[in-house]
């Protein structure tokens, strides 16, 4: 059996993920590209005696070396030499998609075009003569419909055929005469360096040098021919050459298109009609706000029965455990520790899944791009790009995927700021803490209090973004250049898959970090052996007493100090550990009653506590994600320290001024 | 380019893309930006010679959605201001 490596390339939003999933099914492996935080997905297929490995390259508009995504895609094709590159092309948007084709073809690898979204193109009355397109480009073109899995076999066959054919002529764009002359002289010079000639297609390298491509310049810097290359380059204007080449690529495409495409009448299409309303000057913002509000309403309303179900199940399980497990300490470990700890996270699973489902839906339909369009002006004022809005929105569900969503932001500083302020966006794990305290102390006004906390979180994020922009990460925010993809009706499959992959991450967190945290908590609350669980005499109690002086100015006692400490594992654990410490169990009502009976807890203290929980140190999973996404512990550590300081200060202020508003402690 | 006479509307005069009103068409004649921004713009089809139509501004006035090379692209006015265009006659 021979192995064939197939790299999937393409613009963003062309259905590449859908096609990759359809091709590889569940046989996927997700990792990272070496050295960068760009996700690398690979999958294996066996087909007619070939072991095919499919590598999903990041979605890019071009192969210049401007963003991490582009460098990854380009270096993979250039250095790893896949047997064939399959470019997924959006049939409804040939012109811009083929621009990337001209760049991939220049790299001298066999290429196959998957003409995806063929259904959408045909529905729009646009007919594409595939054979003619294939003949003109000298590239096989296969019709595919990713969402229905159509054309996959043909695509694989074409890829295998191309991979096995010895490389034919290089099919590259012919540039303007003077540019071609320069390329020829550069190639003449470069040929003298055998190493370079072996590693890179010289025509491609010469063209990049003409454009002043940093990455390409670095490749020849060490070469003995470097001085002669520099001498040649000193005579040209790289900006002008670059524009001339880009222009020429589009010219070639413009010459091909009329021969292969009979465009449907381009009247008012559905996307345009929707956009007229959705991005309308007066309606745009209200619709956006209504959608966001609806998202959260649905998240909680739809999830409620499932949450109740899980709670009931956990209660049964605890009861069963308590009744059947022998030694009391083991029953306590399983019941209080494992079921209590992990259960406190599991109850959010329905909320998280539904939130992710709605967000995936908004993303897959193309609405999120409109949201960024509408919000950009505001985000810009904050010092962030419009795209930073999406990570923030997702952060309301959970900061982990929120921070991961910052990957779509190109500027490194913008990305860092977006990541660092994300923990202030109040994730759903903090909600149970608010519900508990606001419910116990603010009665009918609880809703307003919770709302204000969300607002405070947003304000903290904005203020911090401004602060970072002016201090540790100075500079302009990166330009906003965003495609507005046409609206698409996502299939249940794509949205569910997106939801699933994000949701599973959350559950995995529950299964690992939180389980470990729960066990540590149980140990601290149970030792030294023989003490009453979670009492003042336990290790947890001792720790709390140790920390008490630090939080005393905020009005918190040792119990709260312990709960906050454990909230570091995951913020929802704060509720569980208070339950343990107050000896009230997980039941919300019992705990509220216990709070009200505690003379040390006033409404003002409760408010300060909620503020503290909102802002302090992100949970363990978030810290791990920050570390992973920024590539350094430095930023993760910074995030922890900054959050603690900010939380302490604001909780202090709130605790001091609150009494004058809510009628004293 | 010929010097335009007096105060007649400057047909064919070079302006920048951010000055193009909604539903107006124009043709790109130059890109002032350099570096990464330039590469991005070129890759997204904002090349000299391309026809561009301003579609609409966002509710808060910025960014602006354009139609170029058969698809929709949105840019901030700051970036659009780096693109030199000649308005097209109706
Ligand atoms: N009509 C149609 N929609 C598709 C097709 N392939 C993907 N989609 C939809 O296009 C959207 C973007 O797809 P996705 O795979 O996430 O694109 P990516 O950004 O290229 O990975 C999703 O809503 C898909 O359901 C197709 O062949 N036809």
Cα torsion through A595, A598, A599, A600, rounded to 10: -80
Whether residue A345 has pLDDT greater than 80: no
* Cβ proximity of B20 and B68 under 8 Å: no
Q: Is A380 on the interface with B (CB under 8 A)?
A: yes
Q: With cut-offs at 50, 70 and 90, classify the pLDDT of residue A589.
A: low
Q: What is the CA radius of gyration of chain A?
A: 29
Distance of CA A621 to the CA centre of its chain: 15
**Probe target for ligand 1 pocket from A149, A154, A155, A488, with the most ligand atoms within 8 Å of CB:** A488
- CA nearest to A253 within chain B: B69
Give me the pLDDT at residue B82, please: 93
What's this model's pTM, rounded to 2 decimal places? 0.79
The pair of structure tokens assigned to B68 is 């170029």
**Probe target for ligand 1 pocket from A9, A10, A15, A56, with the most ligand atoms within 8 Å of CB:** A15
Question: Nearest to residue A111, comparing CAs of A169, A53, A163?
Answer: A163
Least confident of A247-251, A353-357, B19-23: A353-357
Residues of chain A numbered 460-479 and touching chain B (CB < 8 Å): 479
Q: Do A377 and B47 touch (CB under 8 A)?
A: no
- Side-chain-side CA neighbours of A23 within 13 Å: the count stands at 34
Give me the pLDDT at residue A664, please: 43
Most confident by average pLDDT, A75-89, A342-356, A619-633 = A75-89
Q: With cut-offs at 50, 70 and 90, classify the pLDDT of residue A100.
A: very high
The H-assigned helical ranges of chain B are 35-43, 77-80
Q: Is A62 on the interface with B (CB under 8 A)?
A: yes
Residue by residue, what is the 3-state secondary structure of A323-384? Answer: HHCCCHHHHHHHHHHHHHHHHHHHCCHHHHHHHHHHHHHHHHHCHHHHHHHHHHHHHHHHCC
| pLDDT tens column, B19-56 | 988 888 999 999 998 888 888 899 899 988 899 999 99
Alpha carbons A191 and A200: distance in angstroms, whole number? 11
Chain A residue numbers with beta carbons less than 8 Å from the beta carbon of B42 are: 62, 242-243, 246
Q: How far is the CA of A364 from the centre of ligand 1 (A)?
A: 7
Give me the pLDDT at residue A421, please: 94
Whether residue A169 has pLDDT greater than 70: no
In sequence order, which residues have a C-beta less than 8 Å from that of residue B90 and are 6 or more positions away? none
* Cβ proximity of A4 and A53 under 8 Å: yes
Give me the pLDDT at residue B46, please: 92
Residues with CB under 6 A from ligand 1: A 12-18, 59, 116-117, 119-120, 145-147, 364, 488, 490-491, 494
Beta-bridged to residue B74, according to DSSP, are A482, B65
State residue A169 phi and psi, 5-degree precision: -65, 155
Whether residue A663 has pLDDT greater than 60: no
Question: Nearest to residue A561, comparing CAs of A592, A524, A589?
Answer: A524
Question: Nearest to residue A344, comparing CAs of A318, A305, A321?
Answer: A318
Cα torsion through B6, B12, B14, B17, rounded to 10: 130
* Secondary structure of residue A126 in the 3-state scheme: coil
- CA nearest to B58 within chain A: A374
CA angle A548, A551, A557 (to 5 degrees): 50
Measured from the Cβ of residue B67, the count of other Cβ atoms closer than 10 Å reads 16
Answer whether the bond into residue A99 is a cis peptide, omega within 30°.
no
Whether residue A267 has pLDDT greater than 80: no
Alpha carbons A88 and A9: distance in angstroms, whole number? 6
| Angle at which helices A515-526 and A539-551 cross, to 10° | 100
How does B33-55 read in b/e, with b if 16+ C-beta sit within 10 Å? beebbbbbbbbbbbbbebebbbb
Alpha carbons A147 and A120: distance in angstroms, whole number? 11
Q: With cut-offs at 50, 70 and 90, classify the pLDDT of residue A115.
A: very high
The pair of structure tokens assigned to A524 is 């601290």
| pLDDT tens column, A517-555 | 777 777 887 777 777 766 777 888 888 888 888 888 888
The share of chain A scoring above pLDDT 70, in percent, equals: 91
Atom of ligand 1 nearest to the CA of A118: 27
- Provide the mean pLDDT of chain A: 84
Give me the pLDDT at residue A180, please: 93
Give the residue-averaged pLDDT of A317-321: 82
Give the residue-averaged pLDDT of A385-400: 79
- Side-chain-side CA neighbours of A109 within 13 Å: the count stands at 29
Q: Which domains does chain A have, with CATH numbers?
A: 2-163 (3.40.50.300), 177-239 (1.10.287.1770), 284-477+494-662 (no CATH)
Q: Do A61 and B58 touch (CB under 8 A)?
A: no
Give me the pLDDT at residue B7, please: 41
ipTM of the complex: 0.87
- Provide the mean pLDDT of chain B: 84
Alpha carbons A369 and A12: distance in angstroms, whole number? 12
Q: How many CB pairs under 8 A join A and B?
A: 115
Give me the pLDDT at residue A665, please: 39
Alpha carbons A566 and A572: distance in angstroms, whole number? 9
Separation in Å, CA of B83 to nearest CA in chain A: 12
Helix or strand holding residue A218 (H, E): helix A214-221
- CA nearest to B34 within chain A: A239
Q: Do A96 and B69 touch (CB under 8 A)?
A: yes
The pair of structure tokens assigned to A26 is 């569940």
Give me the pLDDT at residue A47, please: 84
| pLDDT tens column, A14-54 | 999 889 988 987 667 766 666 665 678 899 998 878 899 99
Q: With cut-offs at 50, 70 and 90, classify the pLDDT of residue B5.
A: very low
**Residue with CA nearest ligand 1 atom 8:** A15
Alpha carbons A298 and A283: distance in angstroms, whole number? 22
**Residue with CA nearest ligand 1 atom 25:** A490
In angstroms, the Cα distances linking A52 to A6, A20, A32, A157 are: 7, 13, 20, 11
| pLDDT tens column, A593-631 | 777 877 778 888 889 999 999 999 777 778 878 887 887
CA angle A405, A410, A411 (to 5 degrees): 115
Give me the pLDDT at residue A206, please: 93
Give me the pLDDT at residue A453, please: 92
Give me the pLDDT at residue A37, please: 58
Give me the pLDDT at residue A545, please: 86
């Amino acid at each position: 059996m021979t192995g064939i490596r197939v790299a999937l390339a393409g613009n963003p939003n062309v259905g590449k993920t859908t096609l990759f999933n359809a091709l590889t099914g569940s046989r996927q492996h997700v990792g990272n590209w070496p050295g960068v935080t760009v996700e690398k997905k690979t999958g294996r297929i066996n087909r007619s005696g070939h072991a095919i490995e499919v590598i999903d390259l990041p979605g890019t508009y071009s192969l210049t070396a401007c963003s991490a995504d582009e460098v990854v895609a380009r270096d993979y094709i250039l250095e790893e030499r896949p047997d064939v590159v399959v470019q997924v092309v959006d049939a409804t948007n040939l012109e811009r998609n083929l621009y990337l084709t001209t760049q991939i073809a220049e790299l001298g690898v066999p290429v196959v075009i998957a003409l995806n979204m063929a259904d959408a193109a045909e529905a729009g009355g646009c007919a594409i003569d595939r054979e003619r397109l294939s003949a003109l480009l000298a590239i096989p073109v296969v019709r595919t419909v990713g969402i229905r899995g159509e054309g996959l076999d043909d695509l694989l066959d074409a890829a295998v055929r191309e991979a096995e054919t010895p490389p034919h002529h290089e099919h590259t764009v012919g540039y303007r005469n003077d540019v071609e002359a320069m390329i020829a002289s550069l190639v003449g010079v470069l040929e003298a360096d055998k190493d370079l000639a072996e590693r890179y297609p010289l025509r491609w390298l010469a063209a990049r040098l003409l454009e002043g491509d940093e990455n390409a310049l670095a490749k020849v810097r060490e070469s003995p021919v470097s001085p002669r290359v520099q001498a040649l380059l000193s005579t040209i204007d790289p900006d002008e050459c670059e524009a001339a080449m880009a222009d020429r690529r589009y010219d070639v495409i413009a010459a091909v298109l009329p021969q292969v495409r009979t465009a449907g009448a381009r009247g008012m299409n559905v996307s345009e009609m929707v956009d007229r309303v959705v991005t309308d000057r007066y309606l745009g913002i209200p619709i956006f706000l209504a959608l966001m509000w609806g998202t959260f309403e649905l998240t909680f309303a739809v999830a409620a029965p499932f949450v109740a179900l899980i709670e009931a199940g956990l209660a049964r399980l605890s009861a069963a455990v308590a009744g059947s497990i022998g030694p009391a300490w083991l029953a306590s470990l399983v019941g209080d520790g494992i079921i209590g700890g992990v259960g406190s996270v599991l109850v959010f699973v329905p909320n998280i899944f539904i939130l992710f489902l709605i967000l995936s839906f908004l993303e897959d339909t193309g609405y999120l791009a409109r949201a960024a369009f509408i919000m950009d002006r505001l985000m810009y004022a904050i010092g962030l790009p419009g795209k930073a809005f999406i990570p923030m929105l997702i952060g309301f569900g959970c900061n982990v995927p929120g921070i991961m969503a910052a990957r779509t932001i190109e500027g490194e500083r913008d990305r860092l700021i977006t990541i660092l302020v994300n923990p202030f966006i109040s994730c759903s794990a903090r909600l149970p803490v608010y519900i508990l305290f606001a419910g116990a102390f603010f009665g009918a006004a609880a809703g307003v209090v919770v709302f204000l906390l969300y607002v405070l979180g947003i304000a903290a994020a904005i203020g911090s973004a401004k602060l970072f922009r002016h201090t540790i990460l100075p500079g302009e925010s990166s330009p906003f250049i965003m495609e507005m993809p046409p609206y698409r009706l996502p299939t249940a499959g794509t949205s569910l898959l997106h939801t699933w992959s994000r949701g599973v991450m959350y559950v995995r967190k529950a299964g690992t970090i939180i389980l470990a945290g729960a066990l540590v908590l149980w140990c601290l609350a149970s030792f030294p052996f023989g003490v009453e669980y979670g009492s003042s005499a336990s290790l947890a109690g001792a720790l709390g007493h140790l920390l008490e002086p630090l939080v005393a100015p905020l009005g918190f006692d040792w119990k709260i100090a312990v709960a906050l400490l454990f909230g570091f594992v995951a913020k929802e654990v704060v509720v569980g550990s208070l339950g343990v410490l107050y000896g009230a169990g997980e039941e919300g009502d019992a705990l509220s009653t216990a709070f009200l009976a505690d003379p040390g807890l006033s409404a003002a203290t409760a408010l300060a506590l909620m503020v503290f929980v909102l802002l302090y140190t992100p949970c363990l999973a978030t810290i791990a994600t920050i570390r992973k996404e920024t590539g350094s512990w430095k930023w993760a550590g910074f995030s922890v320290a900054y959050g603690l300081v900010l939380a302490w200060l604001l909780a202090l202020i709130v605790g001091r001024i609150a009494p004058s508003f809510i009628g004293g402690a | 380019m010929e010097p335009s006479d007096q105060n007649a509307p400057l047909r064919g005069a070079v302006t920048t893309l951010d000055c193009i009103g909604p539903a107006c068409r124009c043709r790109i004649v130059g890109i002032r930006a350099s570096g990464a921004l330039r590469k991005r713009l070129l890759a997204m089809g904002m090349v000299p010679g391309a026809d561009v139509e301003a579609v609409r501004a966002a509710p808060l006035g910025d960014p602006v959605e354009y139609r170029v090379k058969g698809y929709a692209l949105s840019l901030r006015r700051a970036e659009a201001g780096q693109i030199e265009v000649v308005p097209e006659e109706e």
